[in-house]
Chain A
Amino acid sequence: MSETGTALGQVALLAALLVLTVPFLGRGLAATYSPGGRHLGAERVAYRVLRVDPDADQHWRSYVGAVLGFSLVGVLALYALGRLQQHLPYSLGFPALPADGAWNTAVSFVTNTNWQWYSGEAATGHLYQATGLAVQNFLSAAVGMAVAAAFVRGLARRRTGEGDGAGRVGNFWADLVRTTVRVLLPMALLLAVVLAVLGVVQNLHDPQAVTTLTGGQQSIAGGPVASQEAIKQLGTNGGGFYNANSAHPFENPGPISNLLATYAMLVIPFALAWAFGIMAGDRRQGGAVLAVMAVLFATSVALLTWAEMAGPGQAPQLAGGAMEGKEQRFGLAATALWAATTTGTSTGAVNGMHDSLTAPGGGIAMFNMMLGEVIPGGVGSGLYGMLVLAVVTVFISGLMVGRTPEYLGKRIGQREIVLVAGYVLTTPTLVLVGGALALTTADGLAGLQASGPHGLSEAVYAVASASNNNGSAFAGLTSGTPFWNSLLGTCMLLGRFVPIVLVLALAGRFARQGVRPPSSGTLPTHRPLFVVLLAGVTLVLVGLTYVPVLALGPIAESLS
């Protein structure tokens, strides 16, 4: 088979897996978040012990409070675990993480970013990884999905009443526990078992010394990797057990584990779009959103694959192929597919080094993140991000024809559009202000490995990655300094929670409204026309915001 043929073959396999499973999982998710569903026996016991009322329908403000309170505790607990590492069992003799580093990592994993300034096998013990990092891999994913569920409820509900009953969007604790127990844990368990069979390690060893075939010494690192790898991919987290992340053979031993890990990043985000259609009472609405995600994602896969297989640039041309930073068992096409997936989904795991991608390839990866992580985005955040863009689209379309814009029968008035504008502007502000800070201070510049356009790309990629809660890196950047840890930690925190608060406020406003019947002036939001409009708005928003910085970075590099 030709090179292009095999590249298409792997995409066809991935697409088939997704088509077969997304509707099924989507139905399951919709049932999980439907109001009045029954509690499982274990859940009921848990709620009683934890003294939370899972049936209380929370006002959006209470929902926000619960999200923030829970996340705050998560950050503090993870910070404490990192600072106390030397006293923990299975710490492999590693010392405590430094204060700025422990804070950065705590924020990073609680915000579902999984930016890593440290090298896993050289800084973190098994207990910190399993009870700290892996737990937040589950919980940060569950928080994102809970917020998405609350937002969809706000859109789908009819007038939750005036006064005290207004603006109710569901119960955070029930959403959190159900997402974890019914969705993430069973899926992770299944994937972890399959990965272990494929060769991903699962042990509690200290590094083991072996004498190599030619008499050298090699220290082989172990760890509970399969269990962590599964949720790292499924929860679009991306924080590697080892420094090399999914390029490491112990995390990703071969082409089959590689395909499954790629699939795992995509399945929940796409299924949530499907679930949205069911919850909104009109599957076509979910289909339209899913179509936009799929079309933009497929385009980025095609472009990135083309870039890596063409291999522009001096070093790839000289070597005969862009294999720097790539593994032989995956090759160019599987690495390109992964790079598009990990940046399109806010995962940030890598199976090859993004800093060594070709200039156009690295540019597309950066562009995917700048889209705001919506093709199909992180678990939860991808769906609510795309729905906010849908609101922008009906608003713009409404202005063009002079009608009052509405989405799913909900009117988009002044208050609503202010919240939407705040959402859309948050991450670009963080990226551009953060990038400017990095490039105008000595501490910021000190971290860059490259100079010229590639150096600019390293810095902008880092702040874009942090602000959009992706976590992948142009890893030539030395980011483990107090300056970079603090800057990126702040970007991650604001980039996660400011949009969440705005989205939940919007959910509250929508929940309060009744549903207007569609009129002749209503823009149908399930037709191909809307798909095109939404894709256009997504691209134009990013384009207008980021073209200058992209021109100075990857575009200048591609043209030089």
Chain B
Amino acid sequence: MLQDLYSLARYALAGLRVLVALTLLLGVLYPLAVLGFAQAAVPWRADGSLLTATGGHTTDPGDAVGSALLGQLVDDPTLFQPRPSAAGDGYDPLSSYGSNLGPDDPRLVDLVRERQAEVAEREGVAVAQVPPDAVTASGSGLDPAISPAYAALQVPRVARENGLGEDEVRDLVAEHTTGRALGTLGEPAVDVLELNIAVRAAAGQ
């Protein structure tokens, strides 16, 4: 027993030397190498894909209105609305998360029903026309995108509120829609922040 403990201590001591050396390699040099590459080659992406109010790229948070990769609350009835969010009070990047409600949870069923009524009223359509992504919270709570169907549903309202033609707004949606990667990966998605920046520009604000 004493012999075993002695051996374990010996192995632990060797292990400690190995751990310290490998921590320098894997915990310091490796992330710094990736940092050096990313900051030199793709600084905008490495710093969070920040957008200015005119849609330009920036790495200065003071100039930014958000990240192309992160959804945000849209407190303006004239713009496209994002999906519901369970991150904090909504789209809080410091508490990214989903609702984690199960498929038969009565709380989720109620939420879906409420959201359907809300969206249907806002857009002036029937409840049956509201697409699933409009009434469900994403896993991250920071989903930057909505489905083309949800965007299309919002086109008449956004056009009306901004004094734009529906076709013009539909073109903006198409411009900011990303199709399936390589024709088969993921789902078509419309980046809400980029689209709203374009709507503001078109409306001359």
Contact = CB atoms under 8 A, between A and B. Distances in A.
Contacts of A132: 27
Residues of A in contact with B, size category? 35 or more
A328 interface: yes
Interface string B1-40: 0000001111111111111011101111011011101110
A454 B102 contact: yes
A189 B34 contact: yes
A322 interface: yes
A65 B8 contact: yes
Contact of A327 (B87, B112, B132, B140): B140
B42 A196 contact: yes
Nearest to A251: B140
A10 interface: yes
Contacts of A340: none
B65 interface: yes
A337 B27 CA distance: 31
B186 A254 contact: yes
A441 interface: no
A504 interface: no
Contacts of A406: none
Nearest to A131: B27
A216 to B, nearest CB: 5
Interface string A421-448: 0000000000000000000000000000
B8 A69 contact: yes
B180 interface: yes
A52 B16 CA distance: 12
Residues of B in contact with A, size category? 35 or more
Contacts of B14: 50-52, 66, 69-70, 173
Given A188-B30, A216-B72, A49 B21 contact: yes
B61 A208 contact: yes
Given A66-B15, A319-B112, A327-B138, A356 B102 contact: yes
Interface in B98-133: 98-105, 108-109, 112-113, 116, 130-133
B139 A70 contact: no
Contacts, number: 394
A227 interface: yes
Contact of A66 (B11, B47, B96, B109): B11
A325 B99 CA distance: 7
B158 to A, nearest CB: 14
Contacts of A323: 132-133, 136, 138
Contact of B26 (A74, A135, A201, A474): A135
A23 interface: no
A168 to B, nearest CB: 16
A192 B34 contact: yes
Interface in A322-339: 322-332, 334-335
A428 to B, nearest CB: 25
A247 B140 contact: yes
A319 B104 CA distance: 12
Contacts of B135: 319
Given A197-B45, A324-B137, A73 B15 contact: yes
Contacts of A396: none
Given A52-B14, A130-B27, A221-B94, A213 B103 contact: no
A492 interface: no
Contacts of A351: 139
Contacts of A52: 14, 17-18
A334 B186 contact: yes
A152 B197 CA distance: 58
B162 to A, nearest CB: 14
B169 interface: no
A20 interface: no
Given A9-B184, A328-B187, A180 B101 contact: no
A218 B197 contact: no
B74 interface: yes
Contacts of A222: 47-48
Interface centre among B37, B65, B105, by most chain A C-beta atoms within 10 angstroms, is B105
A263 B120 CA distance: 40
Interface string A187-210: 011001100111111111101111
Given A177-B18, A211-B65, A218-B91, A350 B103 contact: no
A226 interface: yes
30 contacts: A9-B183, A62-B7, A66-B11, A68-B8, A69-B11, A74-B19, A77-B23, A135-B22, A176-B18, A193-B34, A196-B34, A200-B45, A208-B48, A218-B93, A219-B93, A244-B96, A244-B141, A249-B142, A249-B143, A313-B104, A315-B108, A319-B116, A320-B130, A321-B133, A325-B100, A329-B187, A329-B189, A351-B139, A356-B108, A557-B102
Interface of A: 1, 5-6, 9-10, 12-13, 46, 49-52, 62, 65-66, 68-74, 77, 119, 121-122, 130-132, 134-135, 138-139, 173, 176-177, 180-181, 185, 188-189, 192-193, 196-205, 207-216, 218-222, 224, 226-228, 242-244, 247-250, 253-256, 258-259, 312-316, 318-332, 334-335, 350-353, 355-359, 362, 449-450, 454, 457, 474-476, 557, 560
Given A249-B69, A318-B116, 9 more contacts: A72-B15, A189-B30, A196-B42, A203-B48, A213-B66, A213-B74, A215-B75, A318-B109, A353-B98
